[in-house]
Amino acid sequence: MPRDKVLVAQGGGPTAVINQSLVGVVLEARKGKNAGCVYGAFHGVRGIVDEDFTNLSRESETNLEKVAATPSSALGSTRDKPDEKYCREILASLQAHGIDRFFYIGGNDSSDTLRILSQQARKARYPLRCVHVPKTIDNDLVLNDHTPGYPSAARFVAGAFTGVSLDIRAIPGVYVGVVMGRHAGFLTAAAALARHHTEDGPHLIYLPERSFNQRAFLRDVKQVYGRLGHCVIAVSEGIHDGRGVPIATKLVGKVERDAHGNIQLSGTGALGDMLAKTIRDNLGIARVRADTLGYLQRSFLGCVSDVDQREARRAGVKAVRFAAQGQNGSVTIRRRAGKTYRAEYKLVGLAAVGGKTRTMPNAYIATSGTDVTQAFRDYLRPLLGSSLPTHANLGNRRVKKILD
């Protein structure tokens, strides 16, 4: 009986735990009685077409464990979104190398690639098992309670907004923090977990699930600033007006578009700067600061959720086991009913996940449209993991004035 020949690759934006899934696949695939070679493709599907493979069979377990704890995609990644022709080239490469199991760790585009590829393999009567391992800091895969990568990015966002909220309280002003997430507000919403006392920031949260209205925005900022003397705002990079036009496009004259026609939202401070200018110009507040959290959200070394690490690893392991049972599909993470948080892993069809986008359910968004609900906080809290750093305030024991 010929041995299994396994290929693993990573697609889309890196995360803090995508290498956990990689190592989960590699170690599990090396276990079985029938285990053959385990290849890794550099830079996702691009590396398959280019036959740019590395042999992971001889990678030591010690080094693999170190790689697992390393952020970003150790094999490199790609933004390529293969069409039928591209997938035929992938298949030709897989066939040439006798690869019969392909695990692709990525978002909904990666899942869709596997859908096309598995159809082509079936037509060509080539015995290929394709299993998609979910990852995305955007948390926007359907049929998943959440996706690996999101909890760690959410932990970073919560830590960032806890810090800047304390900072802006110390030297009062208005602060705008722009968070990743083109269509789904889950990551921006994580800023709410920075709030422990009623007056803590962020005080306003703008999600792409709601239309952004500049007048309402200025009214909200004015109200908070008037009440507290400072205001911390979390804004999704994907906020858009009532007709769906991204605010980033409206504010910025010349925007960069990627291969899919998406405008560049990350890697620029333009949206934050323009919102800061809008506040400064319209409300006459002198100290207005904007930060764009940028690439640190997904790659910062030293901020990771242990729950996320375990689940990302588990998703990789499960993918190999599902393939061993002869199944194609996408691994999904569900939450078991019950008081204690517990995840379970189910395989669904590739077409069910591929190319679809999940956004924040209404139950997670406050009626004000500028905050999240307790239901969202309860949803996110267990995902952030253990050993969360805490913070505290001094008591207020005001001394009676003498001179005044």
Would you name the residues annotated as active-site residues? Answer: 138
Can you list the positions of beta strands (E) in 108-194?
Answer: 129-134, 174-179
Of the residues 97, 250, 321, 356, which one makes contact with its own copies according to CB under 8 A: 97
Half-sphere exposure of 114 (CA within 13 A, CB side): 36
Task: Using alpha carbons, select from 97, 114, 96, 94 the residue that is nearest to residue 105.
Answer: 114
User: For the residues of 213-246, what is the DSSP string, one character each?
Assistant: -HHHHHHHHHHHHHHHS-EEEEEETT-B-TTS-B
Site for its own copies in 19-48 (CB under 8 A): 39-40, 43
> Which residues from 110-129 bind its own copies, rule CB under 8 A?
none
Q: In sequence order, what DSSP letters do the residues of 313-359 get, joined into one string? A: HHHHHHHHHHHHTT--EEEEEEE-SSSS--EEEEEE-HHHHTT----
* Cβ closest to its own copies, residue 1 vs residue 171: 171
The answer to whether the beta carbons of residues 116 and 45 sit under 8 Å apart is: no
Nearest to 248 by CA among 256, 260, 239, 257: 239
Phi and psi, residue 40, nearest 5°: -120, 135
Return the range that interacts with its own copies (CB under 8 A); candidates 51-59, 199-207, 208-216, 307-315.
51-59
By CB under 8 A, residue 77 contacts its own copies: yes
- If one asks whether residue 2 binds its own copies (CB under 8 A), the answer comes out as no
Please list, in sequence order, all residues whose beta carbon lies within 8 angstroms of the beta carbon of residue 68, skipping any fewer than 6 positions away.
Answer: 19, 20, 22, 23, 24, 309, 313
Q: Which CB atom, from 123 or from 397, has the smaller least distance to its own copies?
A: 397
Rounded Cα gap, residues 92 and 120, in angstroms = 10
x/- mask, its own copies, residues 331-370, rule CB under 8 A, reads ----------------------------------------
User: Which region, judged by CB under 8 A, interacts with its own copies, from 111-119, 132-140, 197-205, 299-307?
Assistant: 299-307
Question: 14 vs 329, which CB is nearer to its own copies?
Answer: 14
- Please, what is the minimum distance in Å from the beta carbon of residue 402 to its own copies? 4
CB of 307 to its own copies, least distance (A): 15
Closest CB to its own copies among 127 and 163? 163
The yes or no reply on residue 199 touching its own copies (CB under 8 A) is no
Cα–Cα dist 391/389, whole Å: 7
For its own copies, the closer of residues 242 and 302 by Cβ is 302
Which C-beta is closer to its own copies: that of 312 or that of 350? 312
* Interaction between residue 394 and its own copies (CB under 8 A): yes
Count of Cβ atoms closer than 10 Å to residue 261 Cβ: 6
State the minimum distance, in angstroms, from the CB of residue 75 to its own copies: 7
* Number of other residues whose CB lies within 10 A of the CB of residue 150: 31
For residue 73, state whether it binds its own copies (rule: CB under 8 A): yes
- C-alpha 163/C-alpha 74 separation (Å) is 30
Q: Does 170 engage in binding with its own copies (CB under 8 A)? A: yes
Site string for its own copies, 242-271 (x = CB under 8 A): ------------------------xxxxx-
| CA-to-CA separations, 175 to 154, 248, 273, in angstroms, rounded | 19, 18, 11
Q: How far is the CB of 271 from its own copies (least distance, A)?
A: 9
The tokens describing 192, both together, are 């709410």
Which stretch in 28-36, 55-63, 201-209, 331-339 sits in contact with its own copies by CB under 8 A?
55-63
Q: Which of 244, 253, 302, 326 binds its own copies (CB under 8 A)?
A: 302
CA distance 273 to 251: 10
Q: In the structure encoding, which two tokens stand for residue 14, read together?
A: 């890196």
d(CA 248, CA 270): 7
Of the candidate spans 10-18, 107-115, 354-362, 367-375, the one that interacts with its own copies by CB under 8 A turns out to be: 10-18
Contacts with its own copies by CB under 8 A: the residue count is 87
Which of 273, 308, 311, 371 lies at the binding interface for its own copies (CB under 8 A)? 273
> Is 71 a binder of its own copies (CB under 8 A)?
yes
